[in-house]
């Protein structure tokens, strides 16, 4: 059974149909990319999955459970994490604190326990810090835990945002243009890192990406959106050969 299934999803903003009657599914352990020209509705579709937008028609189910009516925090609790197209870290918290916020749901200490400083709370905190440091190391930010998020270089901010998303122990990770603004070497690193996420942690990954080399290199399957509609779906080879995709990207039929 697929992990995430969207059926007939439609999202309108006033008169604009941002996502139109979209069917989509992603298998457990897969890496699926959503591509399309600017304004095709990719991020809107992400927002619908993560609970940032309420869909107008259709259903979205995660692991068989309908999620399209749930609040963002409930969706996160089910195991869906995301990153943002324009990085949205807590700029005035340190890198470590950013990850600790991501661990929030997995910690159990109550406010009274925190005030009293009970042993349970202290152990909880120690575990959280250990886990946060492990995640920092996993994304290659070891030693930078005490730096303010806003002071990290751009590439590190992207990695920190992924580490924060991983803190939730997600089963499905939504990455919104993870290589945007990176040079070819950084892009290559990020591509390998995303593959590690799936191979080592077993996380299913849904990706919005413009960089075709990343998309073609990583994806098991690709969905192409244009004007909110799905115009193609298939393996990288199928999509690459699809005349409608080429038309959507280049505006003219292939010669």
Q: Which of 7, 57, 125, 186 binds another protein (CB under 8 A)?
A: 125
88 lies in the site for another protein, by CB under 8 A: yes
Residues 189 to 248 in contact with another protein, rule: CB under 8 A: none
The closest alpha carbon to 3, from 202, 191, 168, belongs to 202
Q: How many residues bind another protein (CB under 8 A)?
A: 55
Q: Which of 32, 35, 60, 121 binds another protein (CB under 8 A)?
A: 121
Separation of alpha carbons 226 and 232, rounded Å: 9
Give Cβ neighbours of residue 166 (< 8 Å, ≥ 6 apart). 81, 102, 135, 138, 139, 173, 197, 201, 203
Q: Which of 1, 65, 92, 252 binds another protein (CB under 8 A)?
A: 92
> Of 26 and 50, which CB lies nearer to another protein in the complex structure?
50
Q: Tokens for 31?
A: 């890496």
DSSP 148: B
Among positive and negative, which fits the CA dihedral 234, 240, 243, 245?
A: positive
Q: Can you give the binding site for another protein, defined by CB under 8 A?
A: 13, 18, 43-44, 47, 50-52, 71-73, 75-77, 81-82, 84-93, 97, 100-102, 104-105, 107, 109, 111, 114-115, 117, 121, 124-125, 128, 148-154, 156-157, 164, 167-168, 181
């Amino acid at each position: 059974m697929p992990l995430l299934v969207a059926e007939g999803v439609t999202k309108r903003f006033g008169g604009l149909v941002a996502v139109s009657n979209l069917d989509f599914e992603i298998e457990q352990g897969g890496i699926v990319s959503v591509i399309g020209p600017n304004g095709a509705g990719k991020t809107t579709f992400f927002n619908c999955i993560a609970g940032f937008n309420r869909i107008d028609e259709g259903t979205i189910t995660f692991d068989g459970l309908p999620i399209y009516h749930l609040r963002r925090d409930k969706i996160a609790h089910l195991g869906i994490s995301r990153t943002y197209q324009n990085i949205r870290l807590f700029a005035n918290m340190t890198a470590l604190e950013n990850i600790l916020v991501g661990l929030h749901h997995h910690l159990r200490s109550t406010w009274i326990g925190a005030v009293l400083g009970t042993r349970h709370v202290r152990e909880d905190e120690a575990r959280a810090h250990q886990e946060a440091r492990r995640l920092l190391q996993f994304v290659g930010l070891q030693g930078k835990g005490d730096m303010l998020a806003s002071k990290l270089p751009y590439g590190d901010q992207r990695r920190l945002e992924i580490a924060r998303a991983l803190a939730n122990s997600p089963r499905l990770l939504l990455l919104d243009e993870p290589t945007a603004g990176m040079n070819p070497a950084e892009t290559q690193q990020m591509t390998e890192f995303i593959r590690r996420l799936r191979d080592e942690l077993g996380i299913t990954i849904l990706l919005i990406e413009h960089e075709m080399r990343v998309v073609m290199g990583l994806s098991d399957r690709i969905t192409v959106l244009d004007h909110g509609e799905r115009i193609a779906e298939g393996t990288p080879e199928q999509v690459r050969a699809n005349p409608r995709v080429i038309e959507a990207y280049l505006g003219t039929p292939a010669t």
